[in-house]
């Protein structure tokens, strides 16, 4: 008998980077069933379990070619919800950045976020007027590529935050570290300003959040032609 748990672990890892759509789940179950059948067949012909497992999975190292990532969605509804999310995320980021206005960089970031709030708000209100007219419009989108962009966006955002934080630390404490002096923060105000310097870059999290939301909306607005 085959050990289904071992095969499930392999298949889970194989599909780890795929979106959990109906088609992907069905393909995942089909791959698992085929692997079980192969392993059982090999073992019935006298092969030991480990060798049977190795042989069965040998030609299933990549399943990208089995998955069609093109997805038909309701285009206008998708864009409408995406703009709505952009408005919400930018509004929250703008509110969060208000305390940072005591710093020149905070004023710039807060002003930029306010512009994004106004722009996304205008677009959202404009699209609201035509939602019923264009809600049935459809388009094809490569959801798999969008998912990869989402992962890349999170990675780039993490690098951005680390680099900016390291720069802020070097500017404030670089000389103390270089000369081996004790790191000091003089008073509550100085502590508050220091915290803000590291917190301001975090407001940019709305960008990867928005791209991640774009991925989720492809499932919500997928056209079901059945």
- 182-197: per-residue pLDDT in tens? 888 888 888 898 899 9
Please state whether 187 falls in left (phi above 0), alpha (psi between -120 and 50) or beta. Answer: left
Whole-number pLDDT of residue 17: 66
Same domain as 91, residue 28: no
Same domain as 21, residue 58: yes
Residue 226 lies in a domain: no
Find, among 32, 26, 54, the residue nearest to 42 by Cα. Answer: 54
Number of domains forming the structure of the chain: 2
Residue 87 lies in a domain: yes
CA angle 42–43–49, rounded 5-degree value:
110
b/e map 99-127, b = 16+ CB within 10 Å = ebeeeeebeebbeebeebbeebbebbeeb
Q: What are phi and psi of 140, to 5 degrees?
A: -105, 130
Token digits of residue 180: 């081996």
Whole-number pLDDT of residue 49: 83
The structure's pTM equals 0.70
Same domain as 109, residue 74: yes
Domain boundary among the residues 36, 51, 66 is at: 66
Token digits of residue 58: 């040998």
Domain boundary among the residues 66, 88, 114 is at: 66
Max CA pair span of the chain = 77
Token digits of residue 112: 């930029």
Whole-number pLDDT of residue 7: 81
Structural domain boundaries, residue 10: 4-66
Same domain as 77, residue 33: no
Same domain as 150, residue 97: yes
Whole-number pLDDT of residue 1: 46
Report the distance separating Cα 79 and Cα 212, nearest Å: 14
Whole-number pLDDT of residue 59: 61
Whole-number pLDDT of residue 3: 56
Domain boundary among the residues 29, 44, 66 is at: 66
| Local confidence pLDDT in tens for the 226 residues of the chain | 445 677 888 888 877 766 666 777 777 888 888 888 888 888 888 888 888 888 888 766 556 555 656 678 899 999 999 999 999 999 999 999 999 999 999 999 999 999 999 999 999 999 999 998 998 899 888 887 888 899 999 999 999 999 999 999 998 888 888 888 888 888 888 889 889 999 999 999 999 999 999 999 988 898 875 5
Same domain as 127, residue 197: yes
Residue 225 lies in a domain: no
Same domain as 96, residue 34: no
Q: What is the pLDDT of residues 125-139, one digit of tens each?
A: 999 999 989 988 998
Residue 31 lies in a domain: yes
Same domain as 94, residue 197: yes
Same domain as 25, residue 49: yes
Report the distance separating Cα 224 and Cα 226, nearest Å: 6
Same domain as 213, residue 135: yes
- Please, which residues have CB within 8 angstroms of residue 139's CB and are 6 or more apart in sequence? 72, 73, 75
Report the distance separating Cα 83 and Cα 117, nearest Å: 10
How many Cα neighbours within 13 Å face the side chain of 88? 9
Question: Residue 70's beta-bridge partner residues?
Answer: 142
Whole-number pLDDT of residue 55: 82
Same domain as 117, residue 87: yes
Report the distance separating Cα 84 and Cα 20, nearest Å: 24
What is the chain's length?
226
């Amino acid at each position: 008998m085959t050990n289904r748990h071992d095969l499930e672990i392999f298949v889970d890892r194989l599909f780890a980077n795929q979106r959990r759509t109906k088609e992907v789940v069905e393909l995942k179950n089909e791959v698992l069933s085929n692997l079980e059948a192969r392993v059982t067949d090999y073992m019935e012909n006298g092969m030991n379990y480990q060798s049977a497992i190795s042989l069965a999975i040998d030609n299933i190292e990549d399943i990208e070619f089995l998955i069609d990532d093109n997805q038909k969605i309701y285009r206008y509804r998708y864009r409408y919800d995406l703009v709505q999310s952009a408005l919400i995320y930018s509004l929250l980021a703008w509110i969060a950045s208000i305390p940072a206005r005591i710093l020149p960089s905070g004023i710039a970031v807060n002003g930029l976020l306010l512009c994004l709030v106004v722009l996304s708000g205008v677009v959202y209100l404009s699209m609201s007027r035509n939602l019923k007219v264009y809600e049935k419009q459809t388009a094809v989108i490569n959801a798999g590529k969008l998912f990869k962009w989402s992962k890349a966006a999170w990675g780039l955002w993490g690098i951005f935050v680390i680099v900016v934080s390291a720069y802020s630390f070097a500017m404030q404490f670089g000389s103390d570290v270089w000369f081996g002096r004790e790191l000091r923060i003089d008073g509550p105000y100085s502590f508050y300003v220091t915290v803000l310097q590291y917190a301001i870059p975090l407001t940019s999290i709305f960008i990867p959040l928005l791209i991640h939301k774009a991925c989720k909306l492809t499932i919500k607005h997928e056209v079901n032609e059945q």
